[in-house]
C-alpha cells in the first residue's frame, strides 16, 4: 500500500508540474506604439527590471559596465561633455557640450584643453543651493587618481601610464589630490594639460567619473570624502533625475549616515525628478517620464513574461528569450515592440598567443577560417542579433572604411575547411602537412567559457569546427564573473581559448577597441581585457609559466593613432590598425557585430537607442498618454 501511495504521489506531482508548465501567459499588450506627430507627452512612471544589479553600486569612478553608463548619462550625472542620447542616425555618436558652454579650446600643440562651465547649474538636493564650479571637476579628477576609489574602473584613460597614449599631467602622482596638470583658472574655467596629444580626450571627459563632486568644507574630495567604497550610495548629481531620497541626505552629516533610500543594492533603484535640473540648460535630455522604477532580479524568461503582461515596460540590458521574440515577430500588432539596433559591440573568440598551439600565427589564421560563425550566430538568435563579423573594430568607429573587409571570409560565414587546412599546413604543428594538427599541443586545448545560455550550444559548434583541423578543445564552463573572467584574465591559468567574450565601445572612438582589449597594459590579473596576452613582456610571460616569451605587440600601431586629432586621418589610422590586428597579430576570431535587441511594452511611445551608451535611452522615452 505504501509503495502504491508513493507511485500515485509521484504521478500526481508530475501531473501538477505538467499542468503548471502547460500553456503560456496570455498576452495583454496590444497596439502598435508609435511616436506622436508633435510634442511627446511628459509624465508617468517607466517600469523596468534588470536581471542583476550594476557591478559597483553606482560609484562613477568604479562602474565600468554598459548597464551603468546609461543611467549615469541620461539621468544622474551631467559632465562637461556628453552626447544627445540618440542613435547614430540622429547624431547620437557626436560629442556635445553639456555642463560646458561649448567644446573645449585646444592649444596648438594639442596638450592643453580649456573648458568654460555654464553658470547657474545647481546640484540636486540637499546641495541644491550649491552652484557647480570648475573646482568640482578638479575634485572628480582627484578622486579618479585615488587608486582605491577608482579600482576596477577606467582610470587608465586619464593616467599617462595607462597604455592609452597619454594622460593628465601629474595624475599618477596625485593619489587622491588634484593632479598638477589640472588648473582651476576661475569658478567657470578649467584647464587640463596632457602628457601627449590625445585626439579622443574630449570623449574621455564624457565618462561618468568626470562628473562634478559637490564641495564640503575644505575636504579635498568634498562630498566623496569618506566614501571610497560606497560613493554611489550617496551620489548627488546634476542630471534630470536623482535617486529617490537623495534630498534626505544631510550635507553636514558624517560619511556613516544612512545612504540614499531610493537605491537598495541588489533589490531596486528608483529615480525621481531632480528639482534643481533646468531643461533650458540641457538640450541633450528631454526627460519625459516623471519616475523610473527598476526592480532587480529574475531570469530573462520571467522578465519577458512581465513585459508581456504589462508589469514592466522593458527588461533593461537583457536579451529577450527566443520564444518570446518569435511570438512578437509573428504578431503584426507586436512587431513594433521589437527593436534591434547595432550596439557597436563585437563578439569574438580570444586566442592566447603565448599558449601552444595558438603561439603559431598559422594556427590562429586557420581557426579564423574554420569557425562556423553563422552557426554561432544562430545559437544566439539568428540575424536579428547581429551581422557576421570579418574584422575586429566595429564599422561605425572607422567610418565604414572596412565594411567589406574580411580576410578570412567563408561562404555564408559557415567556415572554410579547405582554406583552414591550407593554412594549417604552414604551421609547425602539422608535421606531415596534411592540414590537420598532429602535435600533442592540439589535444586537450584548455577552453574557458561561460556556462549560461547560449554558450553551451556555441561550445558544441566550436568543438566541432576546431576538430576539423585537428584541434581538440577541452571545454570548462562556469559562471561568467566568478569563473570565466577570473580564469581568462589570469595569464597563469594558461587558458588557450576564451570564446565567450565581447567588447563594446566606451565612447564612439576606435581607441576604445584598441588598447583596452589588445594593449600590453591591459593584461591581467588586476587589469582588463587583453585575454590574448598581445604585447606581453618576456618577464610577464615567464612569471606566468609560459615557455613562449616572445609574442607580437600592437602597441606601436595603437600609439600612432592615439595622438591624431579627431578627423579622417585618425579614422583611417584605426581602420589600418584593424587590418594589423587581423593580419599581423591575429589574436582574435571576431564573429558577430552585435545588435542590441529589446522587447518593450505597448506603453512606450518612442523607443530611442542611446548609441553612445549602447542601451535604450531612458531620458528620451515617453509613455503613451503620459503614463495615464
State how far the Cα of 194 lies from the Cα of 167, in Å rounded to an integer.
Answer: 5
Residue number with CB closer to other proteins (323 or 418): 323
Q: How many CB atoms lie within 10 A of CB 286?
A: 21
Q: Does 464 bind other proteins (CB under 8 A)?
A: yes
**Whose CA is closest to 354, among 514, 539, 579?**
539
State how far the Cα of 571 lies from the Cα of 245, in Å rounded to an integer.
Answer: 45
Identify the residue whose cell numbers are 531632480: 274
Find the part of the chain contacting other proteins (CB under 8 A) among 93-101, 154-162, 356-364, 476-484: 476-484
The answer to whether 203 and 98 are in contact (CB under 8 A) is no
Shortest distance (Å) from residue 371 CB to other proteins: 12
Strands 291-296 and 45-50: parallel
Q: Does 235 bind other proteins (CB under 8 A)?
A: no
Find the part of the chain contacting other proteins (CB under 8 A) among 130-138, 451-459, 511-519, 558-566: 451-459
Q: How many CB atoms lie within 10 A of CB 3?
A: 7
Shortest distance (Å) from residue 412 CB to other proteins: 10
Shortest distance (Å) from residue 21 CB to other proteins: 7
Binding other proteins (rule: CB under 8 A), the pick from 12, 94, 431, 460 is 460
The answer to whether 151 and 165 are in contact (CB under 8 A) is no
Q: 455-467 vs 373-380: helix axis angle to the nearest 10?
A: 170
Q: Does 482 bind other proteins (CB under 8 A)?
A: yes
Looking only at residues 302 through 331 of this chain, which bind other proteins when binding is defined by CB under 8 A?
321-323, 325-326
Residue number with CB closer to other proteins (322 or 612): 322
Binding other proteins (rule: CB under 8 A), the pick from 477, 537, 549, 606 is 477
Tell me 154's DSSP state: -
Residue number with CB closer to other proteins (264 or 452): 452
Task: Please give the span between the terminal C-alpha atoms of the chain, in angstroms, as a whole number.
Answer: 60
Q: In this structure, is the dihedral angle defined by the CA atoms of residues 68, 73, 75 and 77, taken in order, positive or negative?
A: positive
**Whose CA is closest to 491, among 540, 537, 446?**
540
Q: Does 418 bind other proteins (CB under 8 A)?
A: no
Residue number with CB closer to other proteins (4 or 280): 4
The answer to whether 210 and 190 are in contact (CB under 8 A) is no
Shortest distance (Å) from residue 525 CB to other proteins: 14
Residue number with CB closer to other proteins (42 or 378): 378
Shortest distance (Å) from residue 341 CB to other proteins: 18
Q: Rg of the chain over CA atoms, in angstroms?
A: 26
Looking only at residues 483 through 502 of this chain, which bind other proteins when binding is defined by CB under 8 A?
483, 487, 493-494
Residue number with CB closer to other proteins (117 or 597): 597
Shortest distance (Å) from residue 368 CB to other proteins: 19
**What is the CA 412 to chain-centroid distance, rounded?**
28
Binding other proteins (rule: CB under 8 A), the pick from 453, 552, 563, 606 is 453
Size, binding site for other proteins by CB under 8 A: 53
Binding other proteins (rule: CB under 8 A), the pick from 43, 456, 527, 552 is 456
CA torsion, ordered 121, 84, 79, 520, to nearest 10 deg: 180
Shortest distance (Å) from residue 322 CB to other proteins: 5
Q: Does 475 bind other proteins (CB under 8 A)?
A: yes
Residue number with CB closer to other proteins (4 or 108): 4
Q: Does 410 bind other proteins (CB under 8 A)?
A: no
Q: Does 378 bind other proteins (CB under 8 A)?
A: yes
The answer to whether 293 and 49 are in contact (CB under 8 A) is no
Q: Does 572 bind other proteins (CB under 8 A)?
A: no
Q: How many CB atoms lie within 10 A of CB 564?
A: 21
Q: Does 10 bind other proteins (CB under 8 A)?
A: yes
Find the part of the chain contacting other proteins (CB under 8 A) among 5-13, 119-127, 264-272, 309-317: 5-13
State how far the Cα of 309 lies from the Cα of 321, in Å rounded to an integer.
Answer: 15
Cell numbers for 123:
546640484
Shortest distance (Å) from residue 337 CB to other proteins: 16
Looking only at residues 24 through 83 of this chain, which bind other proteins when binding is defined by CB under 8 A?
24
**Whose CA is closest to 58, among 215, 201, 194, 239?**
239
Q: 361-370 vs 417-425: helix axis angle to the nearest 10?
A: 170
Q: Does 14 bind other proteins (CB under 8 A)?
A: yes
Beta bridge pairs of residue 615: 610
State how far the Cα of 522 lies from the Cα of 489, in Å rounded to an integer.
Answer: 9
Residues that bind other proteins (CB under 8 A): 2-4, 6-7, 10, 14, 21, 23-24, 299-301, 321-323, 325-326, 375, 378-384, 444, 446, 448-449, 451-454, 456-461, 463-464, 474-479, 482-483, 487, 493-494
Amino acid at each position: 500500500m505504501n509503495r502504491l501511495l508513493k507511485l500515485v504521489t509521484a504521478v500526481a506531482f508530475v501531473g501538477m508540474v505538467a499542468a503548471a508548465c502547460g500553456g503560456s501567459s496570455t498576452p495583454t499588450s496590444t497596439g502598435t506604439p508609435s511616436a506622436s506627430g508633435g510634442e511627446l507627452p511628459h509624465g508617468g512612471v517607466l517600469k523596468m527590471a534588470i536581471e542583476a544589479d550594476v557591478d559597483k553600486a553606482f560609484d562613477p569612478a568604479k562602474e565600468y559596465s554598459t548597464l551603468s553608463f546609461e543611467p549615469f548619462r541620461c539621468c544622474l550625472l551631467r559632465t562637461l561633455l556628453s552626447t544627445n542620447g540618440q542613435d547614430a542616425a540622429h547624431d547620437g555618436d557626436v560629442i556635445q557640450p553639456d555642463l560646458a558652454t561649448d567644446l573645449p579650446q585646444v592649444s596648438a600643440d594639442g596638450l592643453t584643453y580649456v573648458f568654460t562651465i555654464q553658470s547657474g547649474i545647481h546640484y540636486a538636493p540637499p546641495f541644491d543651493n550649491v552652484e557647480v564650479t570648475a573646482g568640482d571637476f578638479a575634485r572628480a579628477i582627484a578622486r579618479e587618481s585615488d587608486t582605491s576609489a577608482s579600482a576596477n574602473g577606467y582610470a587608465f584613460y586619464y593616467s599617462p601610464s595607462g597604455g592609452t597614449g597619454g594622460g593628465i599631467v601629474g595624475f599618477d602622482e596625485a593619489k587622491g589630490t588634484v593632479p598638477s596638470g589640472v588648473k582651476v583658472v576661475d569658478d567657470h574655467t578649467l584647464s587640463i594639460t596632457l602628457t601627449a596629444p590625445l585626439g579622443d580626450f574630449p570623449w574621455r571627459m564624457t565618462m561618468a567619473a568626470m562628473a562634478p563632486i559637490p564641495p564640503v568644507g575644505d575636504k579635498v574630495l568634498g562630498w566623496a570624502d569618506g566614501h571610497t567604497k560606497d560613493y554611489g550610495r550617496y551620489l548627488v548629481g546634476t542630471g534630470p533625475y536623482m535617486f529617490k531620497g537623495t534630498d534626505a541626505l544631510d550635507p553636514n552629516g558624517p560619511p556613516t549616515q544612512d545612504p540614499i533610500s531610493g537605491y537598495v543594492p541588489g533589490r531596486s533603484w528608483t529615480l525621481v525628478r531632480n528639482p534643481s535640473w533646468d531643461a533650458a540648460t540641457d538640450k541633450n535630455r528631454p526627460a519625459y517620464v516623471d519616475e523610473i522604477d527598476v526592480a532587480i532580479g529574475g531570469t530573462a524568461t520571467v522578465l519577458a513574461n512581465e513585459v508581456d503582461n504589462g508589469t514592466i515596460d522593458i527588461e533593461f540590458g537583457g536579451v529577450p528569450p527566443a520564444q518570446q521574440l518569435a511570438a512578437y515577430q509573428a504578431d503584426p500588432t507586436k512587431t513594433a515592440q521589437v527593436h534591434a539596433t547595432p550596439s557597436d559591440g563585437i563578439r569574438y573568440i580570444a586566442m592566447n598567443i603565448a599558449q601552444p598551439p595558438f603561439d603559431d600565427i598559422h594556427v590562429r589564421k586557420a581557426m579564423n577560417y574554420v569557425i562556423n560563425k553563422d552557426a554561432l550566430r544562430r545559437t544566439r538568435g539568428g540575424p536579428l542579433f547581429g551581422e557576421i563579423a570579418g574584422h575586429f573594430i566595429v564599422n561605425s568607429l572607422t567610418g565604414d572604411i572596412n565594411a567589406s573587409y574580411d580576410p578570412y571570409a567563408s561562404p555564408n560565414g559557415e567556415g572554410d575547411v579547405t582554406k583552414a587546412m591550407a593554412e594549417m599546413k604552414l604551421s609547425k604543428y602539422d608535421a606531415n602537412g596534411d592540414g590537420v594538427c598532429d602535435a600533442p599541443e592540439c589535444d586537450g586545448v584548455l577552453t574557458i567559457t561561460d556556462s549560461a545560455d547560449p554558450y553551451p550550444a556555441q561550445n558544441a559548434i566550436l568543438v566541432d569546427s576546431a576538430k576539423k583541423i585537428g584541434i581538440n578543445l577541452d571545454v570548462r564552463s562556469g559562471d561568467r564573473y566568478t569563473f570565466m573572467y577570473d580564469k581568462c584574465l589570469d595569464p597563469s591559468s594558461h587558458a588557450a581559448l576564451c570564446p565567450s567574450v565581447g567588447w563594446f565601445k566606451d565612447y564612439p572612438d576606435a581607441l576604445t577597441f584598441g588598447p583596452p582589449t589588445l594593449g600590453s597594459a591591459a593584461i591581467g590579473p588586476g587589469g582588463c581585457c587583453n585575454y590574448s596576452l598581445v604585447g606581453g613582456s618576456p618577464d610577464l610571460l615567464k612569471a606566468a609559466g609560459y615557455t613562449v616569451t616572445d609574442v607580437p605587440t600592437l602597441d606601436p600601431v595603437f600609439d600612432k593613432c592615439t595622438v591624431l586629432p579627431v578627423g579622417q586621418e585618425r579614422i583611417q589610422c584605426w581602420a589600418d590598425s584593424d587590418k594589423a590586428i587581423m593580419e599581423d597579430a591575429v589574436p582574435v576570431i571576431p564573429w558577430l557585430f552585435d545588435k542590441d535587441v529589446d522587447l518593450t511594452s505597448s506603453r512606450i511611445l518612442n523607443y530611442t537607442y542611446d548609441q553612445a551608451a549602447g542601451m535604450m535611452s531612458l531620458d528620451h522615452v515617453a509613455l503613451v498618454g503620459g503614463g495615464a
